Structure formats: structure tokens, C-alpha cells
């Protein structure tokens, strides 16, 4: 083990009354909740990019984090140090999973040959680190947005060579994910969209994007990868418009290219709110459309219009999110990955733990609360009663009729339906009872 | 003719140099633009609701418009007066089309029988007014959101009786539209969505909504209506979330219920911007997905987060919108309907003309500008060159390969694609040259 | 007592474990918190307008609430019934205070003479109701935005007769507030702003607004009213721009007209978020500027850009708000008024109680949590340590120097200050510990 | 001259019909408009930071601009090359002014001594370049936000050493601005605000900020600088909240510290829209409050919630902005600085010219249009008539009365003021007539 986190003790469950700021108060991995261990419900993962690759820079200023692996070039030694420290972190935090982009874990490559070579070295090392640490891969992905060659997109780039370069990266990252036992493979199309509609052939770009995704699905089957392919919706940023705007948009895209049974969504809380939705709305939508996959847990700032990627800290929000996940049947291959970064001013190594430990407890408490709401049953009962008319004689009668038949029946019966209380305030109170 | 607009002269084209504030400077209906008369390009319609039904109220205050037909109850005489005045307006403005909701044109009904009776009377009268005025119906629709019975939605209401009441209204409004020679039938699901996810069974509501729309399509064919069925996207308001969020969402919904070849979208500018899109984005998206139908022309206020429904007044915005419409092949059954209202402080009858005359000229100038851009050809050439790589040897080579084949080719060739200028500023300048 | 709320029991404190949905679990009015009774900390008020005047209408539909006093004209009998029922409500809810606009409590007036007469009748009745019920007036106000005459504003109206009509209303409402023992007098300038800058003389309007406020302050002193004059900031809606945009803007306005020691702010949570601020930011800003007055408790919807005026339901948000109120020294004449309305679908009388009972408990729990944070002291200690440098030798040294002196000292010492962790995630965790 | 822009011809005025994409069609610097040369009206400046310092990076990807001065370290030679190329640009574009931050024009410094040395070298060179090129300095400023030491702010930093470091930079930059004949000195408090209120002592930070500004004003007078001190409002980004939120907030801040006659605002279009205002609103507000100073011309994207800093391209927006500037009496020391950057995909040197040339013409056309509106006089007449009541007998009568006097007069006269049309649509049409 490296000594980067030498001052940080192993993080453990100590219960609600613990005064230890670096212990779990709610995340008790073996506790049974609704018949399943908490760890198996939540399937937590930590990520490489925000926590180990980002130097604490923003658009208006340079990096504030003084990490040893950032002090020189990102060569093979620096990349190896970063991987070591990351696995120390995953173990100390005791999350079962981690996630990465290809370029997160490797040395900087000057050309396509080096890219493959350095990535392959990194994957060998990750395999060893997984074995020695007992950590598993929730998902892998390829970064088709940071290098200047992707300025105009990856799969949707006007230049077919960029499409091909991206194909190389995704092929390699998908095969690496397969080899490392990854549970899913994710595509976030950060630059799959446009800066200006004025120079964009949207139909062609959508078709190229559809073809790219179809090729990925085909390759997955060819190599025998049984994990899930996930798309991560986001409405914009860095682009003016991203094609994977939100879950409903992704659903339409999948249907258009016949992929709705092959691909699911990886929902990020902050992307949901940027798209003018609640986090729980996106989960419920994905569930209703049959494409719920996984979660990128974080939060946005309701007053700021960009992706702040802060750690979740609202038990209220996570209670509602967990409620929808439980209703969706829970995760299969997915999990809660923390796509969250400590603030630029949180430059101490301990801050990485404060961010994750607090967030894990918030999600865990959210699960406990959601389970209480399910067990209580009152909200489900109110909802069931609200739709009970569809099981009445009239509800049944109109089930088999055409438009004219229904209209005629309405007239014949002289119906005069009255509005009924939706009891929103009462339900909100019932939720507050478990918080 | 009534004398409500007695002071207003017939609105005519007088050319760019006219100093008459109530004349068209750009809308010259017989002028040929790209081989078609302006009137046939733009297919302008005025609407009943904002212009003749709304009394100038808002959430914080009562009506400021003192219209004679609003002075007492909305009985049969008042409704008839309103219809007369509206047709005077359509003629004086010289727009070829108009649009209405069922309840806009009829007396208030106390029950389902009265609803059908009063609506039938109104339709008889509209038929006479169309004949005498030479005005045509762009589209009809039914209002399934204003009456308290629709508080929890129409087709997505938890109560099947409300679904049935709505079916009656839509059946009658669709048949009336057919009889009046309407070019389209529109559904705006103002309350098809939710106030709170907490009491909502989203999957059931979506399925009911899908069924309702399927019944409407089936009925259209049964009665021989050859116009287009249109859905009007809006993200929210009055609901917290509306299921028809935007064009891409509607597309996914149509695909889910197998209706993508039966239903198109009626795009409203202000709904587009509320959904975080530009107006032209929504048109381009609909075109790319094959569901572009018609336009509700208006504008929002970029600083205000609700549907302000102001008259379009930006030639710049309308140039881009017309450009996308031309690229989409122009309207077939659709047109430019003004779903716009004068401000609450614009209570003079003349203000209704200032609003419409200015807006018609803005749209017409936008068409002229868009035609110039098409004829100039430089923007199209820049765009074509941007994607030219797909017609190169490499673009062709990767066309028939699978993911591994493409990746291997990229490696074999040692490709190193460089970013290329997207020329956004240059293109923006080219557009400003025609304004 | 009327029998409108006959089915509702007196609301009482029953403790956290109560299963009674219409009891307080946290609001225990006599409980001592930081040395003061909860009732004296929170000073709850319920309001007339949303709860007894609004019929459940919105921009897209008519009223859904079937209240007996709304069934006919708002004549003297209806207004009296409304006042009776309102006081039943205040008592049953057991809030010590209420609030009203002049027009909320009176019959509709056809002219200025009737206005004064009907308002005077209402005030007589309110005085009796206060005496018999033991309820008190937190604040009164005059409505200068609903009647069509105020379409272009009250104090900022281009027409001096409107200014004068408003002066009459405010004079009478201020004197009534004084007579009824009101603790504050509020001005919300709902239409003091503009619909379009194009027809607006901003400087003149600001000066008229300043003069109006100065006249009110002068009159307050003349009649011996010792309550506080409050302005309620809001950024827009119904106007495109409201002059009282937010607390900082109001502060500048008060300074401009020399009123910063005479007038404070009544902060509404939903207005804060519409202005791109958090609720607690507005409280902290008012405290820092010395103008914190009172609270209009409600919440907005972060995904909807208008004033939804929902009941507060986030203990997390109210914990932070209470924390800032305690730091500001608590209320003097102010209190927590519920400027919140049940949803349009919550039409049952019981829903009014669900809304208020839940909200009162949320605010009370927020107070309890905030007190725990104060007592714990860790957050205050982190903050104090963060600024401790200003008490160091260097901090002292630069205290008395001019710009050049400070710059020279910096150079002389060769200072090289390093960034220090702001510990945001740690502090957020500390807050979550008390929730 | 360097040869970086060797392919770009001198930019000249060629008139509206020119087909040269790199010529001015509207910016005719010697043309008289409302009695003043265009150049003297508009006082254009180009900036160092976006155009010569930014490498084309964003939060999600690295630099796409391959500038020779970015290829190695930013040492003295690279900084000198950058200055040379920048002045070539200013001359070729033929703008009279330029603007800079201290760190924009100098080599990277390792410590405070180097900072002063490298900056002094740069200023010597700038002085020579000004002389040889005939370009002048519109304003200088110091960057107190990019270096990690400023992570928690400059003047509002919890650490007094950072305050002192900032004082050194501002002292030197202000003196350099004075020496270089700068017309103004600007402060943009990019990190003067907070990331979280939870660790922030707002009152102390505001007081430190007020003291810092007071020291700057005092020093200005001490050294005999007669230019204007300007503050640039922005609501947030990179901070969660910036203290200089908007013009009205800055006004209140200046009043609080007695600086309202010493400091004015530098208004940026994109900052205005992020603060939920129009660009012209901020100008009109500054004019009404007597603090209008200068302009940072750019535009935001109404659908994106961050500072996109795009080049202005809307003649409509710039017409309204110029109208308000003319009404404010025009610039004194201020001017139009382009705080705008070409898109990340616009990496060709020519793109820098497309951006600026198009923008200059948009602003110039806006000025021409605004002048036409002033000369036409109809809008001013409508506005004057709207407020004419204040010059009537009644308007005069209430001028000298107190609140009770006005109220009594209103009652005595039985006034019943009616709403009057604000004619918004008509005015919007009048504006469109000049576009």
C-alpha cells in the first residue's frame, strides 16, 4: 500500500450514535433490508476521474490539488502510482466496486499505438489490483471527449477518422471491461451533440451515432460480454445540445435504431436536474420504459446551471430515488457509482473521504427510509385507490370500446366526473415521517 | 360585420417603405419565394383562445380587456358575438386560416348533453362564417385541461370517467374539424403529466395516453379524415411535468405505441425554449425524425420561466426557423398559427392588430431571409464540406466493417485525426448578412 | 364557530411517535429551545389569500375548490363567512398569528367610497374575531396588484391617480394594522416593475416608488405605529422585472432613499429561489445588511420557473434557514407566515390542514436541528478557525495600512499564501448528523 | 510584425454591399452619428485573455488551439511573442483600444518578486507597442482568481496574506494602467463570493471587500489616476454566489461603503443574462443609478446556464443596448470591449477575425439603428405621453401632500383610474422597422 492515505483509518460501520466523522452511521453492509443485504442493494462504486485524475482546476483557475502523481508528466510511473492509490482508497472506503475511463488509468499516449500499449499495461495492473484488493469493476468506459481530436464529437464527428479512432478505443475498453469482469459498459456522449445547429447535419449525426451503438452491441455479443451496455443521458455541457438529452430522448433513440432491448440508461442526478427533471423522475421514467440500468450519484446546485457534480447530501432526495429504484425491482448489473467530486477548495486527502463517507451514508439512509415507506404501505394504498376506477364497472366497460363507443357511453350515462383530491400534502407528510 | 373593429382598416401589403403602422411591409402573399407563393409557404392562422377568449387576467389579477362578449355570462348570444368578431378579425387581417378549441367557440355547458348541443350550434355557425368570409380551418382541438374535471388530466386521468368525457369531446371536435375542412387535428396535453410523482402511476398513465391516441388515430381513419393528427410538446406548466416534454420525447412515445407514421408534432416556440431548446432545434429534430407537422408561433421571455406566449418579434429567430422549415420541405398540412397573446396592458382592440401585423411581417421577413441563405448556398457548402470525409476512401472503407474491423483499420493506418475549424463565427456572420 | 371544518379536531402536540396525521410531532409550543419557547421563536401565522380567497384556479383552468363563500358574489355576507371560517382555522391549527391583504377580508367594492366602507366593516369584524379567538395580527398589507387599475403598477404607475388610489389603500390598511395591534406592515410590489423596458421610465418609477415608501414611513410615525415596515423582494412574475428583485437590491433601494433604518425585508423562500438564491442566502444577506425582518415560508419547485408557493416540506432547507435566523438574533416583530397554497388538486378542507400541519412540523424540526448545530459548536469553530488569520500578527499589521503599505509589506515578507481546505463536505456531513 | 496573421489583410470599411467577409459593412469609424464619429461612440477594444491566453480548453477537454506561444512554458520569450502578436491583431482589426489582466501579458512567476519583475518587463513592452502601433489602453486589471492561492477569493479571502498578495497585484496593475494612459481600471471579483454559505462569514467578507475597494480608490487619487474605477457584476461562476451579483447589488454595496460617486460598473452582456436580466436592463439600471461605466460585449446562450462568452451576433440585442447607452449620455471613459471568445472548434487564426469583425459590425449596426429610433422620436413620444399625467393638475396636486393628504384627495375626488394600453406590441413593431 502507498502511504498517501496513511492517516486515514479503515472506514467501518459504527452505528447512528458514533461520533467518529470517518465511520458509517447508516451503511451497514450486511444488514438485511427488504430481504437483501445493503451492500447488494446499493452496490457502491467509486470512480477514477474526479477523485484521482482531476487536479482541482476549473474554467477560471488552475489545479489546487497537490497530488504526487500530478507533479510531472502523466507517464507510466505516475499512472501506476495513481492506480495504486486509487485501490488503497477503494479498500479503505470499503466499496465493492470502482469505475474508470480508459484514459483515466493510463499514461498519456502520443499516438494510436501508444494508446493501445499504455492501456493494455494499465489493464494488466488493474487485474492484479482487483485480485489483491477484492474490489470489482462496476463499469468501464472510453473517453471520447477530452482529446482535441474529439472537439466535434466521437461517433458523431464529421470526420470518419475520428469515428474510427473512437471505435478503436471503445473496442479496447469494452474488451478490457469484459476481461476485468465488469458488470456494465457505459457510453457518455459528452460531445455527441452540437455547438451550433448551423454547421450540423443532425440526421446524419444521429444515424452515425445509431450505427456506432449498434456496432458496440454487436461486438459485445461477439466477445461474449454479458454485462449491460448503458447510455448516460445529459442535456448539454460541454456541447450546446447533447443528443442523449434525457431518459425519454434516449428511449426514442434506442427505439429508432432497434436497440431498446439491448441498451439501458445510467442516470446521473445532476444531469437529470440540468434537463429540468428530478432525479427520481428519471429513474421512474426509465423503469416505466424498461431501460433502467445504473446510477451516477451526485447532486447539482439548483441555482447554478452547470454540472457541479457535488456529493449527494440530501437524505430527502435519496429517499425518493431509492423508493423508485426499489419499485423498479432494484439493480441487476447496475449500482450507485459516485460521479462526484470534492470542491476545488477541498484539497486535503481527508476531504476525499469526507465526501464519500457522507454520501454513502446519505444513500444508505435513503434506502432505509424508502424501505420503511414500502413497509408502511400507506402511500402505495393512496395511489392504488386513486386509480381504482379503472377496476370499476365503468373502467372495464370502456376497455373494449373504440373512441365513438366510449363517447357514446359517456353521453348515454350522462357522466359528470368530479375532481378528487390528489392528497399531495398528505403524502409529503407521510414521507417526512420516515426521514 | 360587427363594429368592434370599425376603426381598423383592411390590412394590406404596402412594401418596406410604407409608413402605415397597420400595413404589411414584407408579407406580400402573392410574391413568389423559392417557387411558391408566400401565402402558400406560411399558411398563417389566427387563434380564438388568446385573442377572443382570454379576458386579460393573470395569476395575480383580473381581466383588463373590456370585450362586449365578456360582459355577462358566456351564453349562446355571447358566443355567437365572439365568433362574428373573430371572423371579422381574420378577414381584416387577411390570414387564410384560423384555429380553435371546442370550448373557445361555444357557450358554457352545464353538462355533457349541453356540451354537445352548444358545440354543434357553434360548428354550424363556423361553417357559415367560413363560407361567407373565405377563411379556412388550419386545425381544431378539444380543451381537456380548463374544466375542473380535468384537474388530474384528460387521457391520463386516474378516473376513467374523465377519460370518457375527454373521448366524447375529442370525437366531436375531430368530427367537427373534418366537417369544417380542417387541415389538421391537434392534441395539447396540458394536464397529461403530473403535479407530483408521489401519487402517480406513470406507466399506467403513459399506457392510457397511448391508448387514447391510438383510438383517435383509428377514428380519424374510420371517418375518412385525411388531415394530420398533431401532438404539441411542452415540458411543464400547468403541470410539474408534462409527458409530451419535447419533440424527441414525443417521438419516443409515438414509437412505443406504433404511431410514428400517424402523428406529427405541432411545435410552439415558447414551449421549445421552456424545454431548454431553441425553436429551430425543435423543427430540425422533428424533421430529422420525420414528424414535423405545424408551428405555433410565439416567443417566450428568456428571463422568465413560464409560457409568456408573446408575439414573435425577432427576425433573427424567425430566419433560423424558416430555414429549418424550408430544409424540412416546407409545410404540407401545417402552417404558422399565432398561439400568442397581446400583453395584459394591451387592452385596446388595435393592440390585437399591432400584435398580429408585426408578427406576420417578422415571419415573412424571416422567410425572405431564409430563402436568400438557401440561394446564396455558402452555408450549405460549408456544411457539405464539413462531412465530406464520409465520401472519401476511408469513409467508404469503414462503411462495411464491424467494430473490430474499424478499430483494426484505424490501428493499421496509424490514423491521427486533427480537429478542424467548425467556422461557427463565420457562418453567423453569413447569416447576419441577409438580415 | 362555523361547521366548515367540523370534521377536523383541534391540532395538538403529540410527540414524534404519534401516528395521528393531524397532530404535531415536533411543534411543541412551550418547549424551551435555546432559552426561548418554540412559539416565541417561530411566531407562526396563517394567511387569508391562498387559504381562503384563492378558488383553485390557474392560468389554464378554473377553480376546483367548492367553498361556500365562493358560490355567489363576494358580498358582505360572503366576506363575513370567509372571515369566520378563517378564524376557526387559525384556532384549530393553533397558530398565534394571521396575515391579510385589505381585499382578502372585504366584499368587492365598486368604487373608492365602497372600498373604504367595506374594509372598515371587515376590520371591525376582525377586531371582534381576534378578541374572541385570541389570535393576533402578524401583519397587514394592501393589494395594489389585482384590480385592473393596477395593471401598470401601484406606486410606480404612470398614472398619478393610481398612485393616489394606492395611497388611500395603504393609508387605510396601515391604520387598520395599527388598530388591530399588527406587528408589522408589509408592501409587496407585485406590479412595481415593468412588462417591457421599452415604454418605461425607470428612474422616474424608482423615484416615485421611493417617495411612496417615504410617505408610508412618515405616516407610520405620525400615527404612532411601532411595528416594522417590511418590503417583500421578488425578482419577477407577474412583471417581467420587479424593482424589489432580491434582498441586496432592496438594500440599495433603501439606501438610495435614506430608508435603510426604517424598513426591513420579508423574505419568501420561493422568491429567493426565483432570484437564483437559496432561502438561507437571503436571510444571511438581510442579516449582514441589518434589514432582516420576517419570513414568508413556502417552497418553489426547482424545475419550474414560476412561483409555485408550495408548503415547505424540506427539513434540510428549514434547518439551514433557522440556523441563519438564530444567527441573526431571531425574530423581533417578524415570524413565519405560511405564504403557501395547497395544490389545485387538493380541494378537500382537510388538505388545508395537511398542508399547514406538515409545514409547521418541518419548520419546528428545522429549529430543533439548528439549535443542535449551535449547541454542538463544531461548525462555528471551523468557521472561526478559517478566518483566524485576521487575528494574527499579519492580519493586524495590514489593518492600519493603505494599499501601497500593504503591497510593500507583502513584498518585503515575500509572502506565498497557500490555499487551505474549506472543508465543505465535512461541514455538510456535520449538518446531516442532526437531521 | 510577426507573421502569425500573415494571411489576414488589414480590415477596413467597405460598406453594406461588400462581399468581402473580412471587411466592415457598417463600422465606418469616421461616419458621424448623432453628431459624433462612430469610433468615438463605440470606443472598441479587444482583449488579451480570451484571444491570446486561452488555449481552447474547457472543463471536459484540453486545448485545441495550437498557438506558437503556448507550445512550451510561458516564459519571457513566449510572453513577448504573445504581446507582439496581440498588437498585430489590434492593428489589423483597427480597434483603437485593448484590455488586459496582469497575468495575461507576463511570464509565469514563481513568487512575489518574480511577479513584480515579469509584470514590469511586460509593461515596458506594452508601452513600446502602444507607441509603435497607435493603440491605447481602455482598461487594465489584475487577476485575483486563477492562481490556486485565490481559491477562496482575493479581497474576501479568509487569509489576510491573500488579501495582501491581491493588494500588491492591484497596486501594481493600477499604477501600470496609469502609466500606460489607461482610461479605466476594472475589478472583476470572480471568486469574491462563496462556494458554500456554511463556512462563510458574509458580513466580514463584505466589509473586507469594501475596505479593499476603498483602498484602491484612495490609491487612485494618491497617484493622480483620473480614469474610472469599474466593478464588473456577475451573479455566480466559478463561485456559487458572487457578491457583485448585478448592477443593483453593486449599487447597494457602493452606497454601503460610501463609494457610489467613485466607482461605476462594467456591464457584461452574458453576466446580465446569467443574473436573469436583459443586457439593456443592466445598462438602464446603471444609468438610472448614476453608475454606468463601460461594456464587456459578448453574448450568452439562453439555453445554457454558464458564461459562454460568445461574440455578440444579434443586431436586435445591440440596438436596444445602444439605445440605452445613448440615453445614458454615451460613454465617457468606457467603451465596448469584446470579452468574447471564439468557440473551441474555431481554432484557425482567421476565426479570431471572423469573431471580431462580425461582432464589430453588429454593434455598429446597432448604433445606427438606435440613432434612427432616437431621430424618429415616436417611441420617446409614446413614453412621454404615458407619464404625462404627472404634469397634470392632479399630478401636481399630490406632489406636495403627505400620505393622508393624497388619500383624502383621492376620496374627495372619487377617482376611478382606468388601465391604459402600454402599447408594447406597437413599440416592438416600431423597433423592428429600423432593423
Query: Active site residue: C28, C104, C172, C246, which one?
Result: C104
- ipTM comes to 0.97
From the CA atom positions of chain D, what is the Rg in Å? Answer: 24
The domain boundary, picked from D354, D376, D398, lies at D376
Residue C149 CA to residue B347 CA, distance in Å, equals 12
Residue D122 CA to residue D54 CA, distance in Å, equals 18
Segment A7-34, tens digit of pLDDT:
999 999 999 999 999 999 999 999 999 9
At residue D1, the pLDDT reads 62
Query: A96: domain CATH number?
Result: 3.20.20.150
In this structure, the answer to whether residues C407 and C327 fall within a common structural domain is no
Average the pLDDT over D254-269 and give the result.
Answer: 98
Is the pLDDT assigned to residue D87 strictly greater than 70? yes
Segment C399-433, tens digit of pLDDT:
999 999 999 999 999 999 999 999 999 999 999 99
In this structure, the answer to whether residues A422 and A359 fall within a common structural domain is no
In this structure, the answer to whether residues D198 and D325 fall within a common structural domain is yes
Residue D219 CA to residue D229 CA, distance in Å, equals 11
Q: Which of A273, A303, A316 sits opposite C278 (nearest CB)?
A: A303
- Is B119 an interface residue toward D (CB < 8 Å)? no
- Min distance C236 CA to chain A CA atoms (Å): 16
At residue B106, the pLDDT reads 98
Percent over 70 (pLDDT), chain A: 100
Going through D246-384 in order, the beta strands assigned E by DSSP cover 263-268, 292-297, 336-338
Is the pLDDT assigned to residue A1 strictly greater than 90? no
Residue D18 CA to residue D25 CA, distance in Å, equals 7
Question: D271: annotated binding-site residue?
Answer: yes
B330 part of a folded domain: yes
In this structure, the answer to whether residues C163 and C237 fall within a common structural domain is yes
A30 part of a folded domain: no
SS3 D293: strand
CB A83 within 8 Å of CB D84:
no
Q: Which residues of A are annotated as a binding site for Mg(2+)?
A: 232, 268, 271, 296, 307, 309, 339
Query: Active site residue: B50, B101, B178, B219, which one?
Result: B101
Torsion of CA D240, C260, C298, C69, to 10 degrees: -150
SS3 A165: helix
At residue C2, the pLDDT reads 77
Which residue out of D119, D157, D160 would a mutagenesis test of the C interface target, given it has the greatest number of C Cβ atoms within 10 Å?
Answer: D160
At residue B282, the pLDDT reads 98
Going through C240-377 in order, the beta strands assigned E by DSSP cover 241-242, 263-268, 292-297, 336-338
Task: State the greatest distance between any 2 C-alpha atoms of chain D, in Å, as a whole number.
Answer: 82
**Closest alpha carbon within chain D to B352:** D425
Q: What residues of D are in contact with residue C159 (Cβ under 8 Å)?
A: 389, 417, 420
Q: Considering only CA atoms, which of C345, A314, A268, C348 is closest in space to residue B196?
A: C345
C-alpha distances (whole Å) from A11 to each of A220, A355, A356, C330 are 36, 13, 10, 39
Is the pLDDT assigned to residue A338 strictly greater than 80? yes
- Is D305 an interface residue toward B (CB < 8 Å)? no
B292-297 and B336-338: which strand pairing? parallel
Q: What residues of B are in contact with residue A407 (Cβ under 8 Å)?
A: 164, 167-168, 170-172
Q: Which of A60, A145, A151 sits opposite D145 (nearest CB)?
A: A60
**D2 falls in which pLDDT band (50, 70, 90)?**
confident
C-alpha distances (whole Å) from D15 to each of A233, D21, D364, D367 are 47, 12, 12, 15
Query: Active site residue: D104, D172, D244, D246, which one?
Result: D104
Number of independent structural domains in chain B:
2
Interface of D with C in 356-415 (CB under 8 A): 379, 382-383, 386-387, 389-390, 392, 394-395, 398, 402-404, 406-407, 409-411, 414-415
In this structure, the answer to whether residues C315 and C208 fall within a common structural domain is yes
B256: Cβ contacts below 8 Å, ≥ 6 apart: A251, A255, A289, B206, B210
CB D421 within 8 Å of CB B66:
no
In this structure, the answer to whether residues C357 and C398 fall within a common structural domain is no
- Min distance D276 CA to chain B CA atoms (Å): 5
CB B229 within 8 Å of CB B264:
yes
Residue D125 CA to residue D128 CA, distance in Å, equals 5
C288 part of a folded domain: yes
Q: Considering only CA atoms, which of B369, B38, B22, B30 is closest in space to residue D433?
A: B22
- On the 0-12 / 13-18 / 19+ scale of CB atoms within 10 A, B96 is middle
Segment A291-324, tens digit of pLDDT:
999 999 999 999 999 999 999 999 999 999 999 9
Torsion of CA C302, C305, C311, C313, to 10 degrees: 0
Residue C51 CA to residue C55 CA, distance in Å, equals 9
At residue C314, the pLDDT reads 98
> Domain range for residue B386?
381-434
In this structure, the answer to whether residues B266 and B348 fall within a common structural domain is yes
In this structure, the answer to whether residues A174 and A276 fall within a common structural domain is yes
Q: Considering only CA atoms, which of D370, D228, D233, D361 is closest in space to residue D296?
A: D233
How many CB atoms sit inside 10 A of residue D266's CB?
Answer: 28
Residue A418 CA to residue B26 CA, distance in Å, equals 50
In this structure, the answer to whether residues D259 and D275 fall within a common structural domain is yes
Query: What b/e sequence results for A106-122 when a residue is b if at least 16 CB atoms lie within 10 Å of its CB, and e otherwise?
Result: bbebeebeebbebbebb
Residue D73: cis peptide before it, omega within 30 degrees of 0: no
C-alpha distances (whole Å) from C195 to each of B310, C200, C237, C247 are 11, 9, 10, 21
Angle made by CA atoms A334, A259, A279, in degrees to the nearest 5 = 40
Angle made by CA atoms A306, A308, A312, in degrees to the nearest 5 = 135
Q: Which residues pair with D265 in a beta bridge?
A: D231, D292
Query: Given an 8 Å threshold on Cβ–Cβ distance, is C432 in contact with A302?
Result: no
CB C95 within 8 Å of CB C46:
yes
Query: Given an 8 Å threshold on Cβ–Cβ distance, is D431 in contact with C112?
Result: no
Angle made by CA atoms D144, D145, D151, in degrees to the nearest 5 = 115
At residue B1, the pLDDT reads 62
SS3 D176: helix
Q: Give C225's DSSP letter.
A: -
Segment B404-415, tens digit of pLDDT:
999 999 999 999
Contacting partners of chain A (3+ CB pairs under 8 A): B, C, D
Q: Which residues pair with A97 in a beta bridge?
A: A45, A136
A26: Cβ contacts below 8 Å, ≥ 6 apart: A16, A361, A364, A365, A368
Q: Which of B314, B354, B421 sits opposite D316 (nearest CB)?
A: B314
Q: Which of D302, D357, D362 sits opposite B273 (nearest CB)?
A: D302
Q: Considering only CA atoms, which of A319, A368, A324 is closest in space to residue A34?
A: A368
The domain boundary, picked from D357, D376, D395, lies at D376
CB D189 within 8 Å of CB D244:
yes
SS3 C111: coil
Segment D112-167, tens digit of pLDDT:
999 999 999 999 999 999 999 999 999 999 999 999 999 999 999 999 999 999 99
In this structure, the answer to whether residues C134 and C54 fall within a common structural domain is yes
Query: Given an 8 Å threshold on Cβ–Cβ distance, is B146 in contact with C60?
Result: yes
Segment D173-195, tens digit of pLDDT:
999 999 999 999 999 999 999 99
Q: Which of A302, A351, A432 sits opposite C362 (nearest CB)?
A: A432
Interhelix angle A349-376/A76-93, rounded to 10 degrees, is 40
**C1 falls in which pLDDT band (50, 70, 90)?**
low
C21 part of a folded domain: no
CB D162 within 8 Å of CB D152:
yes
Q: Considering only CA atoms, which of B349, B350, B326, B354 is closest in space to residue B338?
A: B354
CB A274 within 8 Å of CB D304:
no
Segment A45-73, tens digit of pLDDT:
999 999 999 999 999 999 999 999 999 99
The gap from C-alpha B80 to its chain's centroid, in whole angstroms, comes to 26
Query: Given an 8 Å threshold on Cβ–Cβ distance, is A346 in contact with C421?
Result: yes
From the CA atom positions of chain A, what is the Rg in Å? Answer: 24
CB A208 within 8 Å of CB A253:
no
Residue C417 CA to residue C24 CA, distance in Å, equals 52
Q: Considering only CA atoms, which of D209, D211, D171 is closest in space to residue D190?
A: D209
Residue C135 CA to residue C429 CA, distance in Å, equals 40
- Is C149 an interface residue toward B (CB < 8 Å)? no
At residue B2, the pLDDT reads 77
Residue B311 CA to residue B355 CA, distance in Å, equals 6
User: Is-catalytic flag, D41?
Assistant: no
The domain boundary, picked from D376, D396, D418, lies at D376
- Is D421 an interface residue toward B (CB < 8 Å)? yes
Q: Considering only CA atoms, which of C302, D416, B405 is closest in space to residue A272?
A: C302
Residue A35 CA to residue A12 CA, distance in Å, equals 22
Q: Which residues of B are annotated as a binding site?
A: 232, 268, 271, 296, 307, 309, 339
Segment C193-215, tens digit of pLDDT:
999 999 999 999 999 999 999 99
* Mean pLDDT score across all residues of chain C: 98
In this structure, the answer to whether residues A271 and A236 fall within a common structural domain is yes
A374 part of a folded domain: no
Going through B276-386 in order, the beta strands assigned E by DSSP cover 292-297, 336-338
Torsion of CA B310, B313, B318, B320, to 10 degrees: -100
Query: Given an 8 Å threshold on Cβ–Cβ distance, is D432 in contact with B315?
Result: yes
Segment A230-289, tens digit of pLDDT:
999 999 999 999 999 999 999 999 999 999 999 999 999 999 999 999 999 999 999 999
- Is B278 an interface residue toward A (CB < 8 Å)? yes
Low-confidence ranges of chain B (pLDDT < 70): 1
C412: Cβ contacts below 8 Å, ≥ 6 apart: none
D17 part of a folded domain: no
Q: Which of A58, A240, A274 sits opposite D59 (nearest CB)?
A: A58
Residue A381 CA to residue B273 CA, distance in Å, equals 38
In this structure, the answer to whether residues A106 and A255 fall within a common structural domain is yes
* Mean pLDDT score across all residues of chain B: 98
Beta-carbon pairs below 8 A across chains C and D: 276
Residue C27 CA to residue C159 CA, distance in Å, equals 48
pTM comes to 0.98
Q: Which residues pair with C98 in a beta bridge?
A: C46, C137
C222 part of a folded domain: yes
CB C264 within 8 Å of CB C291:
yes
A10 part of a folded domain: no
Amino acid at each position: 500500500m502507498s502511504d498517501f492515505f496513511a492517516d486515514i483509518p479503515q472506514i467501518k460501520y459504527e452505528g447512528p450514535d458514533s461520533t467518529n466523522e470517518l465511520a458509517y452511521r447508516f451503511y451497514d453492509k450486511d444488514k438485511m433490508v427488504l430481504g437483501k443485504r445493503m451492500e447488494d442493494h446499493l452496490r457502491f462504486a467509486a470512480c477514477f476521474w474526479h477523485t484521482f485524475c482531476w487536479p482541482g482546476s476549473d474554467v477560471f483557475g488552475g489545479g489546487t490539488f497537490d497530488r504526487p502523481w500530478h507533479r510531472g508528466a502523466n507517464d507510466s510511473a505516475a499512472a501506476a502510482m495513481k492506480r495504486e492509490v486509487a485501490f488503497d482508497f477503494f479498500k479503505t472506503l470499503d466499496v465493492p466496486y470502482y469505475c474508470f475511463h480508459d484514459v483515466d488509468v493510463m499514461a498519456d499516449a502520443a499516438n494510436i499505438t501508444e494508446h493501445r500499449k499504455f492501456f493494455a499495461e494499465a489493464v494488466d495492473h488493474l487485474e492484479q489490483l482487483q485480485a489483491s484488493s477484492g474490489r470489482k469493476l462496476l463499469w468501464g468506459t472510453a473517453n471520447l471527449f477530452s482529446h482535441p481530436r474529439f472537439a466535434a464529437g466521437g461517433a458523431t464527428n464529421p470526420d470518419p477518422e475520428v469515428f474510427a479512432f473512437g471505435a478503436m478505443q471503445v473496442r479496447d475498453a469494452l474488451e478490457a471491461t469484459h476481461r476485468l469482469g465488469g458488470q456494465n459498459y457505459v457510453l457518455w456522449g459528452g460531445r455527441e451533440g452540437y455547438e451550433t445547429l448551423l454547421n450540423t447535419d443532425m440526421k446524419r449525426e444521429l444515424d452515425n451515432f445509431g450505427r456506432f451503438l449498434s456496432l458496440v452491441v454487436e461486438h459485445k455479443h461477439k466477445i461474449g460480454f454479458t454485462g449491460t451496455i448503458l447510455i448516460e443521458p445529459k442535456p448539454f455541457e460541454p456541447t450546446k445540445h447533447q443528443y442523449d438529452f434525457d431518459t425519454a430522448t434516449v428511449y426514442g433513440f434506442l427505439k429508432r435504431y432497434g436497440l431498446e432491448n439491448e441498451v439501458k440508461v445510467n442516470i446521473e442526478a445532476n444531469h437529470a436536474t440540468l434537463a429540468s427533471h428530478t432525479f427520481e423522475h428519471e429513474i421512474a421514467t426509465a423503469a416505466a420504459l424498461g431501460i433502467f440500468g445504473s446510477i451516477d450519484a451526485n447532486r447539482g446546485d439548483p441555482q447554478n446551471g452547470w454540472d457541479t457534480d457535488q456529493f449527494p447530501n440530501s437524505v430527502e432526495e435519496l429517499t425518493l430515488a431509492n423508493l423508485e429504484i426499489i419499485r423498479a425491482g432494484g439493480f441487476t448489473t447496475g449500482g450507485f457509482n459516485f460521479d462526484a467530486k470534492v470542491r476545488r477548495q477541498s484539497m486535503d486527502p481527508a476531504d476525499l473521504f469526507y465526501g464519500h463517507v457522507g454520501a454513502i451514508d446519505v444513500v444508505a439512509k435513503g434506502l432505509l427510509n424508502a424501505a420503511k415507506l414500502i413497509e408502511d404501505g400507506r402511500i402505495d394504498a393512496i395511489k392504488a385507490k386513486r386509480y381504482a376506477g379503472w377496476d370499476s364497472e365503468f373502467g372495464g366497460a370502456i376497455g373494449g370500446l373504440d373512441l365513438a363507443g366510449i363517447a357514446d357511453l359517456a353521453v348515454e350515462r350522462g357522466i359528470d366526473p368530479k375532481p378528487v383530491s390528489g392528497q399531495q400534502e398528505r403524502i409529503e407528510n407521510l414521507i417526512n415521517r420516515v426521514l
